Structure 1
Amino acid sequence: MTSRSMVLPTSQAEAPDISSLLRAGRELYRSGEIKRAIAIFQAGLALAATASIGVVVDGVADLHAALANAFMLCDDIGSAAENYKAALRIAPHLVACWCNLGIVHQRSGRTQDAISLYLEALRRNPGHRPSRTNLVEALVASRQFAIARTLLLELLEETPEDAELRSQLGKVCFALGETAEAVIQFEQAVALAPGQAENFYWVGAIRQARGELEAAQAAYARAVHTHPVLRRPAAKSPPAFRALALFAPFVGNTPVEFLFKDCAYQTSIVSLLPGSPPDGSLLADEADVVVNLVSDADQGAEVLPLVAAIAASLGKPVVNDPARIRNTTRDATALALADVEGCRVPRTIRIAACEGLPGGLVLAFPVLARQAGMHGGDVFEKLADVAALTAFLAAHADHDRYVIDYVDYRSADGFFRKYRFLFIGEEILPYHLAIGGDWKLHRDATDMAHHAWMQEEEERFLSAPGQVFGASLDRALRVIRDRIGLDYFGIDCALDPDGRLVVFEVNASMLVHDQNPEFPYKDPYIRRIKVAFDRMLARLAQGN
């Protein structure tokens, strides 16, 4: 008898009892008829509510647990949580419910609560493997990498051939700075499960980060040959749409680890290597929207034409048109924004490789100098005089360099403040505020974790950026958005003593991540960025 024609078992009074409803619901659940299963489980709970006090409570607990599992499959995590809790109130020995309630909390962004629930499950059953593996994920999400590594090593002692655990250990080792061990773990994962494409690409990325360029090139070539497209399934089935991302190793790319996490859409990433153009027919069925990740106009100058050609051949909407990316070098953006009302854009001069200071150039020292194509604080100095600048240019003569007017953007209290916004379609969202005592200011290198007032100021900015950037500066930001013309990019900026917007950097290479265990107040504002990004892709994929 098929599940669709199933007749529920009945008692002698021709009425189903709790046990029969539980069995029937589970049968529907196993056959994939989740909504019908939910209705049966709910009918069982309704029947239990009318039963005598002597009703078997374990059956009610099992109904709540089964109903919670069904709600999880429907992505109704609120209802799932209610039913897991109800089951545990009746039968706290149900270890799987503690574990699954932890999953609910983790999916809701409450990682520390999830960890507590996994630990409770393990207190009741120390060997419960799902709780142990989920605990690893929660520890990684909260950046407790050392503990995660210990637990992974214990799990691997039990199942050394588990490629997924090897891959997780590789990521944890990388996060801990143990890059050589990370490569070993990913190579073992590749050997154990050659069908898991991501591990191939991790080997290339880590070798590139270690400066092992020949080995990195070989690893990427192997990855592209074995898995031309790196596919990540959607968090739901069927996927809402398909996004194809164009990525180029060895040049600057938009960081998307956070943006492409837990997506309702399928993401496929194709790596573009010199001399190895991808098969266009292979890509044709991968995309409803194309996302160009090549974001550094200096590093990516040679590959951007290839990106443009591939994107054009697919005939789909494109996020971050490669032609517009080419106009986002530091000198080009300085010129494009020089006359924006309310802005102060430092003059930026590009000096070609092997060339020195041009004759007749008038500079007001100190000035800033940096190597083209570098981000953060790498190869970036404040120089006090011509001699120091000349020495810097000579030391980095193999590359183009920028000379930038220095703007003293200290606030009245003596601290420097640098703000970051993300432009996502029509939206402009705050990402962070960095406060520190030095002009070369990076949020992750500040001492903000030890100063409550700095955190409170950042939270005020994130919750109400308009209180810092009034209407005139909001207009300036919108002019910047229109002139840059990209779908997704960021700006690092400050305010000078006259209240003008000081523009430091505008491009699509800026890092956005959600790993902020010391600053949990940031989480809802960072999630807004992810939601806005997903919404923008959905709109483009649907042709709106």
Structure 2
Amino acid sequence: MSARADLASYLILMGIPDDGRVRAENQGLLRRPTYTFFGTASYLDYLRAAFAGAQEIWLGPPAGPMDLKVKAGPMVNYLADPDIYSIALGKAERIVQAMGRPCLNSPAAVLRSGRDHVARALADVPGVVVPRTERLIASGPADLARVIAERRITYPLLVRPLGAHGGERLLRFETREVLETLVAGWMCDAAVYVTEFHPFIDPDGMYRKHRLAVIGDRVILRHVIIGDGWLLNADTQAAGTEADEAARLGSFEADLLPKIAPAVAEISRRLGLDVFGIDCHLDDEGRMLLFEANACMNFLARTVPPPNMWDAPVEAIRTALLDLLADPTRWRCCVGARAPVKGTPP
């Protein structure tokens, strides 16, 4: 391994959402509010001490010329959702191209990581089922149903707004008739993602969603959410499933990882990202049903006080991330492994 770089010399590419909106939370009388920027890589919240002294560059609307004075070190692109930060990512890519420095999670790769682009890029990866996903725009639910029929997208299907994560405003429709009768303002004259739903119930009648952290060439199982319904998140975790999850976390490296490693390596190569997450279902043979793959996922949040079953994977992810950040020679831009996503414009 080459000498570790000093993270204080790094340039962090940050951004303002295209719509200029962030979440402000009141912290009490005469205290400054806190602001949440959705659609970022999220890990800086947990690694701030390591980046002490690094330079932040804030990009975003309006589009236009830039006049920057920046440090000479490597760059880290912290913007992760192309549907939220398309303007900032475009500016970030111009900076990367002009300066010719190493950049973790290149803006160009992130710009190609929308749900529809990812679905097309990964459609033929061996061992992976990738549901068809289309980005559509319509005047309302009835018009959306018409467009879906024209595109021959099959039911049941999932509909969600762009830039939404964690099951937010995610709706499932069994038939066209149900979709046509829906009243949802966010579907009117706005782009949405439409995804064909694939059943993934396990033989024991439970549903399982695995979150994989892909950090360079490392693949770490962050958690397994187990529930009795298809929409899985921390709030829908079924009671009494802790032992099952702990067993899966403990056996992952020896059991499932060797089976899925080639598929994950190919996913990583096609997406061209250095750090990203995969939410998926995995059966016992390692066959994967992909839910999403992007750079937005949070791996380092600790929502349960230690000790617990997630301490080990969180620490493994943290260590792997710091090691990768400190060694730009391992980044895709430096090893020549960045690959364009198929089916998208250059």
Provide the TM-score with structure 1 as the length reference.
0.51
Please tell me whether residue 424 in structure 1 is matched to residue 215 in structure 2.
Answer: yes
2:277 to 482, 487, 490: 490
Give the equivalent residue in structure 1 for 2:126: 341
Give the equivalent residue in structure 2 for 1:296: 81
Q: Is the 8 A contact 1:351 1:401 kept in 2?
A: yes
Distance 1:183 1:516 in 2: 29
Distance 2:290 2:224 in 1: 14
Identify if the C-alpha distance between structure 1 residues 183 and 273 changes in structure 2 by more than 3 Å, giving closer, same or farther.
farther
Q: Which has the higher helix share?
A: 1
Q: Is the 8 A contact 1:325 1:486 kept in 2?
A: yes
Distance 1:420 1:438 in 2: 17
Distance 2:154 2:112 in 1: 27
Identify if the C-alpha distance between structure 1 residues 447 and 425 changes in structure 2 by more than 3 Å, giving closer, same or farther.
closer
Identify if the C-alpha distance between structure 1 residues 496 and 344 changes in structure 2 by more than 3 Å, giving closer, same or farther.
farther
Give the equivalent residue in structure 1 for 2:8: none
Deviation of residue 500 (structure 1)?
A: 2.2
Distance 1:508 1:363 in 2: 27
Q: Is the 8 A contact 1:288 1:541 kept in 2?
A: no
Percent identical residues: 28
Identify if the C-alpha distance between structure 1 residues 253 and 456 changes in structure 2 by more than 3 Å, giving closer, same or farther.
same
Deviation of residue 178 (structure 1)?
A: 11
Q: Is the 8 A contact 1:350 1:403 kept in 2?
A: yes
Deviation of residue 468 (structure 1)?
A: 4.9
- State the one-letter code of the partner of 1:181: Q
Q: Is the 8 A contact 2:276 2:296 kept in 1?
A: yes
Please tell me whether residue 179 in structure 1 is matched to residue 25 in structure 2.
Answer: yes
Instruction: Map Cα deviations across residues 337-380 of structure 1 (whole Å, 9 max, x no partner).
Output: 11111111111122125363325333443211111211111111
Deviation of residue 265 (structure 1)?
A: 6.1
Instruction: Map Cα deviations across residues 449-499 of structure 1 (whole Å, 9 max, x no partner).
Output: x52xx2233223333314552534221111111111101100000035985
- State the one-letter code of the partner of 1:347: R
Distance 1:481 1:381 in 2: 29
Q: Is the 8 A contact 2:134 2:194 kept in 1?
A: yes
SS at match of 1:441: coil
Distance 1:456 1:341 in 2: 31
Give the equivalent residue in structure 2 for 1:469: 256
Q: Is the 8 A contact 2:259 2:286 kept in 1?
A: no
- State the one-letter code of the partner of 1:540: P
Give the equivalent residue in structure 1 for 2:204: 413
Q: Is the 8 A contact 1:393 1:401 kept in 2?
A: no
SS at match of 1:458: helix
Provide the TM-score with structure 2 as the length reference.
0.77
2:54 to 246, 262, 267: 267
User: Which structure carries more relative contact order (alpha carbon 8 Å, separation 6+)?
Assistant: 2
RMSD: 2.9
SS at match of 1:181: coil
SS at match of 2:245: helix
SS at match of 2:310: helix
Q: Is the 8 A contact 2:129 2:288 kept in 1?
A: yes
Give the equivalent residue in structure 1 for 2:158: 368
Identify if the C-alpha distance between structure 1 residues 439 and 523 changes in structure 2 by more than 3 Å, giving closer, same or farther.
same
Distance 2:273 2:79 in 1: 12
Instruction: Map Cα deviations across residues 32-52 of structure 1 (whole Å, 9 max, x no partner).
Output: xxxxxxxxxxxxxxxxxxxxx
Identify if the C-alpha distance between structure 1 residues 406 and 496 changes in structure 2 by more than 3 Å, giving closer, same or farther.
farther
Deviation of residue 258 (structure 1)?
A: 4.5
Deviation of residue 267 (structure 1)?
A: 3.4
1:510 to 297, 300, 303: 297
Identify if the C-alpha distance between structure 1 residues 440 and 479 changes in structure 2 by more than 3 Å, giving closer, same or farther.
same
**Runs (5+) with no aligned partner, structure 2:** 1-22, 336-346
- State the one-letter code of the partner of 2:174: A
Distance 2:124 2:285 in 1: 17
Show the 5 A alignment for 1:79-118.
Answer: none
Structure with bigger gyration radius: 1
- State the one-letter code of the partner of 1:310: I
Show the 5 A alignment for 1:395-406.
Answer: 395=185, 396-406=187-197
Identify if the C-alpha distance between structure 1 residues 393 and 523 changes in structure 2 by more than 3 Å, giving closer, same or farther.
same
Q: Which moved more, 1:432-441 or 1:251-260?
A: 251-260
SS at match of 1:422: strand
